[in-house]
Structure 1
Amino acid sequence: MSKIITNHYLFILFCAVFLSSCSSIYMPNVPATPMFKNAGEVYVAGHFNAKGNISATAGAALSEHIAVIANGSSVNTGASNNDYFRQQLVEGGIGYFTAIGKEKRQVLEIYGGYGIGNTKDFKQRASIYGYELVESREMNFDKIFLQLNYSSTRKKKINIFGDKKELNYGTAIRLSRVGMKEFWLNGATSPTEENFFIEPLFYTRMQLVNGLQLQYTNGFNIGLNNNEYLKAGNSVFTLGLVYTFGK
Structure 2
Amino acid sequence: MRRLFIGFLVSSSVIIQSCSSIYMPNVPVTPMFRNKGEGYVAAHANIKGNVSASAGVAVSDHIAVLASGSIIDNQRSNPRFSQKLGEAALGYYTTMGKQNRQVLEFYAGYGLGKAIDEDVRASTTGYDVVESRELDFDKIFVQVNYSSTRKNKLNLFGGKKELNYGTAIRVSRIQMKDFTINGLDTQHEENLFIEPVFFTRLELNKGFQLQYTSGFNIGVADNMYLKAGNSVFTLGVTYNFGRKK
TM-score, normalised to structure 2, is 0.90
Structure 1: state its 5+ residue gaps: 1-21
Residue matched to 1:32? 29
> Counterparts of 1:105 and 1:36 in 2: how far apart (Å)?
11
1:122-144: CA deviation from partner (whole Å, max 9, x where unpaired) = 01122344322221110100000
Residue from 238, 241, 244 that aligns with 2:240:
244
Which residues of 2 match residues 17-56 of structure 1 at below 5 A?
23-56=20-53
Contact 1:82 1:131 in 2 (8 A): no
Secondary structure of 1:102's counterpart equals coil
> Counterparts of 1:66 and 1:195 in 2: how far apart (Å)?
29
Offset at residue 84 of structure 1 (A): 1.2
> Counterparts of 2:105 and 2:77 in 1: how far apart (Å)?
40
Secondary structure of 1:215's counterpart equals strand
Residue from 184, 191, 201 that aligns with 2:187:
191
> Counterparts of 2:32 and 2:169 in 1: how far apart (Å)?
14
Residue from 60, 64, 89 that aligns with 2:57:
60
> Counterparts of 1:81 and 1:52 in 2: how far apart (Å)?
11
The answer to whether the aligner puts 1:175 opposite 2:167 as a matched pair is no
1:75-132: CA deviation from partner (whole Å, max 9, x where unpaired) = 0002x33221110000101000000011110000000000001000001122344322
Residue matched to 1:103? 99
Count of equivalent residues: 225
1:32-64: CA deviation from partner (whole Å, max 9, x where unpaired) = 100001000000000001111000011100111
Residue matched to 2:111? 115
| Segment of structure 1 superposing worse, 127-136 or 68-77 | 127-136
Structure 2: state its 5+ residue gaps: 1-18
Residue matched to 1:74? 71
Residue matched to 2:156? 160
1:168-203: CA deviation from partner (whole Å, max 9, x where unpaired) = 101000000000000001110111100000000000
Secondary structure of 1:116's counterpart equals strand
Which residues of 2 match residues 218-237 of structure 1 at below 5 A?
218-237=214-233
One-letter identity of the residue aligned with 2:153: K
> Counterparts of 1:42 and 1:236 in 2: how far apart (Å)?
25
> Counterparts of 1:71 and 1:147 in 2: how far apart (Å)?
14
1:145-178: CA deviation from partner (whole Å, max 9, x where unpaired) = 0000000000011111331100010100000000
Secondary structure of 2:117's counterpart equals strand
> Counterparts of 2:206 and 2:58 in 1: how far apart (Å)?
19
TM-score, normalised to structure 1, is 0.89
Residue from 120, 131, 134 that aligns with 1:124:
120
Residue matched to 1:139? 135
> Counterparts of 1:182 and 1:217 in 2: how far apart (Å)?
31
